[in-house]
Amino acid sequence: LEDAISRLQMDRENLEKDVEETLESEIHRGLIDQELNLWSGFVFPPVDIKLAPMPKLLVTSPRRSIERAHELLLRSDIKLKQVEKLEKELVDKFDLSALVTTPGGIATYPASVPNDRPLKKVLQTSVHEWLHHYFFFKPLGSNIFTSKEMQILNETAADIAALEIGSLVLSKIEEGLGQNTNSPKSIQLNDSNFDYSTEMRETRMVVEELLNTGNSEEAEQYMEERRQIFVENGFYIRKLNQAYFAFHGTYANSPTSMSPIGAQLKVFRNKFPDVGSFIKQISQVSSYKEFLEIVGS
């Protein structure tokens, strides 16, 4: 029995490696199509991913404002009971808003990518994490932690570009398989007119107003009431608090963000005929001030 289990584990590991190598190869070709290779068929850094269960991420924020204060990776198998206890202790003992969440991917090398997502999402996440590797060797990435704006700029630029390239790579894969590349229409969770983006953006705005006037407890009560409304309309959110907005708000193209960088990056993206040119230019930006000057030009 032990030998049989060992063989099954080995077969699974070999299959995962084959899938990873296939995805890396397809993304590699997609990057070359965007002329992101240094020369000939050489892409740097090489695309390298590891499909695996994601660790949990602990994010904290001050209760009186929304900002990423601390982050810590936790075991992927941490129990919900432990999660809720940890979050409560951080509130009670340190007056910190806390959230334990699952990150979409981690820009380690190789990049850690969830192994339980649809192919399109896996491709987009893989490209997103590769872009962080790419930016690391450019002014944009090397200055990521010089300001909150630069962190948002890095994450949002990677998100915008990854959505495009991931979708293009998926289309190539589907064409090669002879499949219909027309994406199916999204499934409506219910028949109501509830719009997630509009409602989440309104929630964030109200929370900001309450926190700016020093009403943190009222803001927390409001967020819990809003969380229940989202759940009732088919959008499961386990915890909605300052840490939730601090984490998700780093992506300025998300309705959880109040940053103008998302709209500014869309304007900047439209200056270029293809996403590869956009990536090359944004990677050379070394400060948010410089970015604003370029967008305004």
pLDDT band at 8 (very low <50, low <70, confident <90, very high): low
Q: Check pLDDT > 50 for residue 187.
A: no
Separation of alpha carbons 180 and 204, rounded Å: 39
Q: What is the sign of the dihedral through the CA atoms of 199, 204, 208 and 214?
A: positive
The answer to whether 33 touches 25, Cβ cutoff 8 Å, is no
Residue matched to tokens 């063989």: 7
Q: Which amino acid is it at 98? A: A
In this predicted model, what pLDDT tens digit does every residue of 18-51 receive, in sequence order? Answer: 999 999 999 999 999 999 998 888 999 999 999 9
Burial of 230 (0-12, 13-18, 19+ CB in 10 A): middle
Query: What residues form DSSP beta bridges with 50?
Result: 112
Mean pLDDT of 271-292: 97
Q: What is the sign of the dihedral through the CA atoms of 143, 144, 146 and 147?
A: positive
Mean pLDDT of 156-162: 97
pLDDT band at 184 (very low <50, low <70, confident <90, very high): very low
Q: Check pLDDT > 90 for residue 178.
A: no
In this predicted model, what pLDDT tens digit does every residue of 286-296 receive, in sequence order? Answer: 999 999 999 98
How many CB atoms are located within 10 Å of the residue 135 CB?
23
Q: Considering the chain, what percentage of its residues have pLDDT values greater than 90?
A: 84
